[in-house]
Amino acid sequence: MARRKKKKLKGAFKLLFVLIGAFVLLNYLHTYEVTENKKLLEKKQKDQNYQQCLNDREIPEEIVNNLKALENSLNEYIAKYNVGFKYEELNYDYSLSYDSDKVFYGASLIKLVDAIYLLDNDIDLSLTKKYESSYKRAFSSKMDKRTVGENVSLKDLMEYAISVSDNTAHLMLIDYIGFDKLQNYGKSLGGKVILQGGDKFGNQTADDTMIYLNKAYELINNHKNGELLKNAMLNTEDNHLNFDNIVFGHKYGSYASYYHDIGIYFANEPYLISVLTTHDSNRSIVTNISKKVYEIHNKIVEEKEIYCYNLAYN
- Inter-CA distances, 120 with 115, 163, 204, 285, Å: 9, 19, 20, 33
Which of the 8 DSSP states describes residue 67? T
d(CA 116, CA 133): 26
Q: Identify the three-state secondary structure at position 101.
A: coil
d(CA 65, CA 240): 29
DSSP string of 119-142, one letter each residue: HHTT--TT-EEE--GGG--SS-TT
This prediction's pTM = 0.87
When mean pLDDT is compared over 23-27, 36-40, 174-178, the highest value belongs to: 174-178
Could you tell me the residue ranges of all domains in the chain? 61-313
Q: Identify the three-state secondary structure at position 85.
A: strand
DSSP string of 213-248, one letter each residue: HHHHHHHHHHSTTHHHHHHHHS--TT--S-BTTB--
Which of the 8 DSSP states describes residue 280? T
Q: Are residues 236 and 242 in contact, defined by beta-carbon separation less than 8 angstroms?
A: yes
Q: Does domain 61-313 have CATH number 3.40.710.10?
A: yes
- 241-277 burial: b if 16+ Cβ within 10 Å, else e: bbbeeebbbbbbbbeeebbbbbbbbbeeebbbbbbbb
Q: Which residues contact 272 (CB under 8 A, 6 or more apart)?
A: 86, 87, 88, 90, 210, 213, 214, 217, 262, 263, 264, 265
Q: What is the average pLDDT score of the chain? A: 92
Q: What is the percent of the chain where pLDDT is above 70?
A: 94
Residue-wise pLDDT for 153-191, tens only, equals: 999 999 999 999 999 999 999 999 999 999 999 999 999
Residue type, 31: T
d(CA 86, CA 98): 6
Q: Identify the three-state secondary structure at position 272.
A: strand
Residue-wise pLDDT for 272-303, tens only, equals: 999 999 999 999 999 999 999 999 999 999 99
Q: β-strand 271-277 against 258-265: which pairing, if any?
A: antiparallel
Q: Is the pLDDT of residue 117 over 60?
A: yes
End-to-end Cα distance, the chain: 69
d(CA 147, CA 36): 73
Q: Are residues 94 and 270 in contact, defined by beta-carbon separation less than 8 angstroms?
A: no
